Chains A and B, each alone.
Chain A
Amino acid sequence: MSNRLFSKNSSRGSDLVLRSLSFFYIGLLLLLPIIAICSEAFKGGLSNLWANIISPQALYSLKLTILTAVIMVVLNVVTGVATAWVLVRYNFPLKNLMNALIDLPFAIPTVVTGIMLVALYGPNSLIGGFLGRRGIEVIFAKPGIILALLYVSFPFVVRTVQPVLHEMEKEMEEAAMTLGAGPFTVFRRIVLPTLMPAVLTGAALSFSRAIGEFGSIVIVSGNIPFKTQVASVYIYGELESYNTQGALGLSVVLLVCSFLILILLNGMQMWSRKHEAVN
């Protein structure tokens, strides 16, 4: 409806200009590089590419990457929503400071994150040593990977959920409570559906970030093939040893994976929004 209104004036022209600018931008900065990767990856032939992708080491690194990413996303969603809730609904001393620091992981270079985590939780630290004696390895093992991913993706869910929570009106929740609904029911039936699109967006962003993360993981994980080597590190190793096809092949797989998940989540988000409108 609104489009018709706009198109009445000669705004069709400016619509097109904007669209072309967007295409140009995305095309040059995103599509072209992706096409470049794909073309380099396919240079050696499809069968060679496939053989590289299904090599045991590549497959393992892919599995590990997705597994750790998924675990991290689940944790991030829970803690992110809880954190957003606390920041929006409650008041406590230094709340503003905490709120500002939420974005800190974005500002710290990943290599510094890695070094820090090793220093704090590595086998030689107080905490790491303590856990190590009880048989729990964090750094240079899978939990360390998840920890690093949690750190670099922490702001995503919190920040996508916060504005939505902010806009929500408490009256509906309180009405439901007077009608006898317990807090969990209220959360499940009223709050969560409204938050769902934002939560899904945050989850999508966290997931994408996790599968691409390199700088901190390469320091924190130990990088042992078939044990703690994630896809980005495997790809780096193959690039450095001139197996460009292998490296780019796996990168393409990761890209496709990420793209599919993003579309899925965006789709779910759109669906969510439609249903929220009905409510």
Chain B
Amino acid sequence: MKQSIEAIRVIRKKRRSGKNILMAAVIGWFLFLILFPLYGIIKEAFQTGFHLFVSSLITPESRHSFLLTLWITTATVLINTLFGVVLATVLVKQKFRGKLLFEGLVDLPFAISPVVAGFMFIILFGPQGWIGNWFESSGIKIIYAFPGMLIATLFVTMPFVAREVIPVLREFGIQQEEAAFVLGASRWQTFWRVTLPAIKWGLAYGVTLTIARSIGEFGAVLVVSGSIIRKTQTATLHIHQEFTDFNYVGAFSAAIVLALASFFILTLMQRLYKRKEEK
């Protein structure tokens, strides 16, 4: 017994130098890839001073765009969380033919270029579109209006919740659910009381990613919205407009606000996770 403890101590000492090298390499990579560009963005935004930073953020166009992003993100999170959990449940628990194929489909939105995605939705939901023309006659606009932008955002964020919940659901195993079941709990009760608490963290992370991605979505929404000022310009489209107008301070300032918003949500997630760990 004493010998193995001694052996472990020696091994651990040897590993420490390797550990330091690894840490240095990883932190170095992180600084290079993530922090350096972030520093660049911050520098550009404050290039002409704090006052301009603020004044470009409070223009009506800017404020409207942030509000619009907020609406779209909220709606996207609600819808995609619900369907993401349903999807994950079906993929993990149920057996049916073509399940593997189905699962492969879930990741596809990433592979579709946003330009093509936008184009697809115009074919489908434009006024002469396959589905769009029904709505057109009742005066409901989908493309070049809020619903179209929502659909495009739903599309690009679709995989996140499902992807994060599936592995947790699998790992979690069926035993606890079966136990609850045997003890007489209904399907719904089992879900609420047993399943949901267990997948909570995977779900929360998936939701966080959905939020971050919705906030940052650009290509597909650009095509599908028409970028109408103070009407269908999200924060990212507003940033694009600012770049096009050579108003770099405006563009980078808005970018920082977006990054801060996502960062805030991500940190919140981290804190909650830590608290769970401490239990």
Tell whether any CB of A sits under 8 Å from a CB of B in the complex.
Answer: yes
| Chain B neighbourhood of A160, CB < 8 A | 167
Return A40 CB to nearest CB of chain B, in Å.
6
Given the interface contacts A117-B37, A151-B37, does A262 sit within 8 Å of B218 by beta carbon? no
B-contact 0/1 string along A100-129, CB 8 Å cutoff = 111111111111110111011000000000
Q: Assess whether A25 is in contact with B87, with CB atoms less than 8 Å apart.
A: yes
Rounded to whole Å, the gap between the CB of B262 and the closest CB of chain A is 3
Take A106-B209, A120-B37, A204-B107 as given contacts and tell me if A111 and B18 are in contact as well, using a CB distance cutoff of 8 Å: no
Q: Is the interface of A mostly helix, strand, loop or mixed?
A: helix
B86 touches A18 (CB 8 A): yes
B203 within 8 A of A: no
Please pick, from B23, B86, B115, B212, the residue contacting A214 in the complex, using a CB distance under 8 A: B115
How many residues of B sit at the interface, in one of the four size bands? 35 or more
Least Cβ–Cβ distance between B125 and chain A, in angstroms: 10
B137 contacts the other chain (CB 8 A): no
Within 8 A of B (CB), among A139-163: 150-151, 154, 159-160, 163
Query: Is B195 an interface residue, CB under 8 A from the partner?
Result: no
- In the complex, the answer to whether A262 meets B23 with C-beta atoms within 8 Å is no
Give min CB distance, A80 to chain B, whole Å: 10
Given known A-B contacts A82-B26, A259-B104, A116 and B37 have beta carbons under 8 A apart: yes
Q: Which residues of A contact B251 (CB under 8 A)?
A: 112
Among candidates B83, B177, B215, residue contacting A107 with C-beta atoms closer than 8 Å: B215
- Asked if B183 lies at the interface with its beta carbon under 8 angstroms from chain A, I say no
Collect the chain B residues with CB atoms within 8 Å of residue A273's CB.
170
Closest residue of chain B to A174, judged by CB? B8
- Which partner residue on chain A sits nearest B118 by CB separation? A239
A22 CB–B CB distance under 8 Å: yes
Q: Is the CB of A258 within 8 A of B87?
A: no
CB distance from A270 to the nearest CB of B (A): 8
Supposing A22-B87, A208-B107, A212-B111 touch, asked if A2 and B236 sit within 8 A by C-beta, the answer is no
Expressed in whole angstroms, the Cα–Cα distance for A101 and B119 within the complex equals 33
Contact B40 A150 (CB under 8 A): no
Contact partner of B266 (CB less than 8 A), chosen from A37, A100, A259, is A100
Report the Cα distance A113→B255, complex, angstroms. Answer: 10
- Produce 1/0 per residue, B247-265, CB < 8 A to A: 0000110010011011100
Interface residues of B in 65-89 (CB under 8 A from A): 83, 86-87, 89
Q: A6-B181, A214-B113, A214-B114 are in contact. Are A30 and B19 (CB under 8 A)?
A: no
Q: How large is the interface on A (under 10, 10 to 19, 20 to 34, 35 or more residues)?
A: 35 or more
User: At the interface with chain A, which of B53-61, B139-147, B150-158, B225-233?
Assistant: B150-158
Known contacts A208-B111, A266-B104; is A215 also within 8 Å of B218 by CB?
yes
Taken together as a complex, chains A and B put the C-alpha atoms of A159 and B33 apart, in Å, by 16
Does B105 contact A205, Cβ atoms closer than 8 Å?
no
Within 8 A of B (CB), among A162-190: 163-164, 167, 174, 177-178, 183
Could you give 18 example pairs across A and B, Cβ below 8 Å? A19-B90, A26-B102, A29-B158, A82-B25, A85-B26, A103-B209, A107-B215, A111-B240, A119-B44, A159-B205, A167-B171, A178-B7, A198-B167, A214-B115, A232-B115, A236-B113, A255-B112, A259-B108
Starting from the known contacts A21-B83, A29-B155, A259-B105, 4 additional A-B residue pairs (CB-CB under 8 Å) come to A3-B94, A104-B263, A208-B107, A215-B114
Q: Which A residues fall within an 8 A CB radius of B?
A: 2-3, 5-6, 9, 11, 14-15, 18-19, 21-22, 25-26, 29-34, 36-37, 40, 79, 82-83, 85-86, 90, 92, 96, 98-113, 115-117, 119-120, 150-151, 154, 159-160, 163-164, 167, 174, 177-178, 183, 197-198, 201, 204-205, 207-209, 211-215, 231-232, 235-236, 239, 247-248, 251, 254-255, 257-259, 262-263, 266-267, 270, 273
